[in-house]
């Protein structure tokens, strides 16, 4: 079953009164603090704002990366604040090609929640002509009980060793992978052995997934095929979850290194590779 859901399907479920909980995961790297304000300018009716920085992440030392994983208790408290009960369908969306929504998908799926990502996000909802709301939705507190999360996450040592037995994907922009520029972290480059495959290559201009054959061929070009151990990292563990979502859609399970480059480059003694080869 696909983890993506169309805007028409969501609208139908809502019209039928199905137990759907919408979460608006509006977040951007260039202005992470503006997500709630963007939400208030217009969101899908009934959607609750979900904070990527405080509910889908926790705060830690630089050596833990910019978006360390939340505890299961933190995620459960957030899900209950969103009004989620056991058996509900959670639909996550954003306005940035589903990168932030994928972080919610990756965490909630591990926690045993039936979670989907809205195909095309808020842009697709608006394009379909459906209603937009501007209220700050505060639902009745839910009672969902989450399973323990973290099983799909790699530690920094596991990420370092991964290329010896599988394919470690660096899904950042090529210039960051090559070490030509680094706008956020103290060192430029990539984890030795990692292969570069930016996650946006799998999407069309509207942010929708390309056909499965094209996606599989793109992954195969860097050595990823069914049965291949694969893991992904990015700058801070957000867009890597998007690559995990795309891999899931073509039948390949993937791990994520949530500390990603922000943790690696802030940890003394970790080797750094540059250039367009894994190293």
Find the catalytic residue in 104, 153, 234, 247. 234
Its sign, for the CA torsion 48, 259, 246, 74, is negative
Matching residue, tokens 């890597």: 240
Contact 131, 103 (CB under 8 A): no
Cβ–Cβ < 8 Å for 260, 65: yes
The CA R_g of the chain, rounded to the nearest whole Å, is 18
- CA-to-CA distance for 185 and 164, rounded, in angstroms? 25
Residue 170, phi then psi, degrees to nearest 5: -100, 115
Q: Is 234 a catalytic residue?
A: yes
- State the burial class of residue 109 (Cβ atoms within 10 Å of its Cβ: 0-12, 13-18, 19+): buried
Pairing of strands 114-118, 89-93: parallel
Backbone CA torsion sign across 49, 55, 57, 58: positive
The owner of tokens 């946006």 is: 200
Please report the sign of the dihedral spanned by the C-alpha atoms of residue 235, residue 229, residue 70, residue 272.
Answer: negative
Cβ–Cβ under 8 Å, residues 241 and 155: no
Active site members: 234
């Amino acid at each position: 079953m696909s983890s993506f859901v169309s805007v028409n399907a969501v609208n139908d479920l809502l019209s039928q009164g199905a137990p759907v909980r919408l979460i608006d995961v509006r977040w951007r790297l260039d202005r992470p603090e503006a997500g709630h304000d963007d939400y208030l300018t217009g969101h899908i009716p009934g959607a609750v704002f979900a904070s990527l920085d405080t509910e889908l992440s926790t705060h830690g030392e630089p050596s833990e990366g910019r978006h360390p994983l939340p505890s299961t208790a933190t995620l459960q408290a957030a899900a209950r604040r969103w009004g989620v009960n056991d058996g509900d369908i959670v639909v996550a969306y954003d306005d940035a090609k589903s990168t932030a929504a994928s972080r919610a998908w990756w965490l909630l799926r591990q926690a045993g929640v039936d979670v989907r990502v809205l195909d095309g996000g808020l842009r697709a909802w608006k394009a379909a002509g459906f209603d937009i709301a501007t209220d700050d939705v505060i639902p009745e507190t839910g009672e969902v009980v989450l399973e323990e999360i973290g099983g799909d996450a790699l530690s920094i040592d596991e990420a370092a060793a991964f290329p010896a037995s599988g394919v470690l994907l660096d899904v950042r922009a090529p210039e960051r992978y090559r070490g030509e520029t680094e706008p956020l972290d103290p060192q430029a480059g990539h984890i030795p052995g990692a292969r570069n495959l930016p996650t946006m290559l799998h999407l069309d201009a509207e942010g929708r997934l390309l056909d499965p054959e094209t996606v599989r061929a793109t992954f195969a070009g860097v050595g990823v095929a069914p049965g291949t151990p694969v893991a992904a990292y990015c700058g801070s563990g957000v867009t890597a979850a998007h690559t995990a979502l795309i891999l899931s859609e073509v039948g390949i399970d993937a791990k994520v290194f949530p500390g990603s480059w922000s943790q690696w480059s802030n940890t003394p003694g970790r080797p750094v590779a540059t250039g367009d080869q894994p190293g």
